[in-house]
């Protein structure tokens, strides 16, 4: 019985993760519309902003948050495109970045949640939910995790890259709360929606590009 459950879970892990991520996102969105500030927003603020802030940590957090900025991610995307031999993968990375950025922009305009006020270290414009840095970084670095897992043969190198990128995603999200430009719910919502998005993207876009490429070669 246990083996059957494991087999079913492994077989349907992607749709399960997709729907679970969407459910968590919409639960957070529901709370965002109900409450101005959610209880775990206050918990994260008290811990990261009131307890941990220091000059040295602020410098580190500013550096980390820049790794999720639009300029850095665009430069990384085009650099990877130039370096990789398989141009379909490079094109997928570029499409992914611009598509997730567009989705995030539309959601911000629709939801229109104001940013936290009064304790921000850096200045940001636009609306707060979902966090653009968290959402875009999850999609961008998450796709790199997937490509690394699928294409790097050396196990130690593959695992090292995947672990580093995973923690980078988490730290970028934390940096947004620490710097006072997002609530924890903005960051968590961005994480989960981006996971759901990435599952669909990985299933559709590379296959679509392959069809186009095969058609051109014919």
Going from N- to C-terminal start, the domains of the chain cover 2-213
3-state secondary structure the chain: CHHHHHHHHHHCHHHHHHHHHHHHHHHHHHHHHHCCCCHHHHHHHHHHHHHCCCHHHHHHHHHHHHCCCHHHHHHHHHHHHHHCCCHHHHHHHHHHHHHHHHHHHHHHHHHCCCCCCCCCCCCCCCCCCCCHHHHHHHHHHHHHHHHHHHHCCCHHHHHHHHHHHHHHHHHHHHHHHHCCCCCHHHHHHHHHHHHHHHHHHHHHHHHHHHHHHHHHHC
Least confident residue range of 159-163, 168-172, 203-207: 203-207
| 3-7, 22-26, 58-62: the lowest-pLDDT one | 3-7
State pLDDT tens for residues 106-144. Answer: 999 999 999 998 888 988 888 999 999 999 999 999 999
Q: Encode pLDDT of 72-101 as tens digits.
A: 999 999 999 998 888 888 888 999 999 999
Q: Per-residue pLDDT averaged across 38-65, rounded? A: 92
Mean of the per-residue pLDDT values for the chain?
88
Look at residue 14 and tell me whether its pLDDT is greater than 90: no
């Amino acid at each position: 019985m246990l083996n059957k459950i494991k087999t079913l879970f492994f077989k349907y892990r992607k749709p399960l993760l997709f729907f679970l991520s969407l459910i968590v996102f919409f639960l957070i969105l529901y709370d965002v519309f109900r409450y101005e500030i959610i209880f775990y927003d206050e918990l994260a603020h008290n811990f990261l902003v009131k307890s941990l802030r220091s000059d040295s940590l602020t410098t580190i957090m500013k550096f980390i948050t820049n790794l999720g900025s639009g300029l850095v991610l665009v430069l990384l995307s085009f650099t990877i495109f130039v370096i990789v031999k398989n141009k379909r993968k490079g094109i997928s990375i570029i499409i992914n970045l611009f598509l997730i950025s567009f989705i995030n922009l539309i959601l911000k305009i629709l939801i229109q949640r104001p940013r936290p006020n009064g304790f921000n270290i850096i200045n940001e414009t636009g609306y707060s939910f979902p966090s653009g840095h968290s959402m875009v970084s999850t999609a961008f670095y998450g796709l790199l995790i997937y490509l690394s897992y699928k294409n790097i043969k050396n196990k130690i190198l593959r695992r090292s890259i995947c672990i580093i990128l995973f923690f980078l995603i988490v730290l970028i999200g934390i940096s947004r709360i620490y710097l006072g430009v997002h609530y924890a719910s903005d960051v968590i919502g961005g994480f989960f929606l981006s996971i759901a998005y990435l599952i669909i993207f990985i299933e559709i876009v590379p296959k679509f590009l392959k069809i186009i490429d095969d058609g051109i070669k014919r």
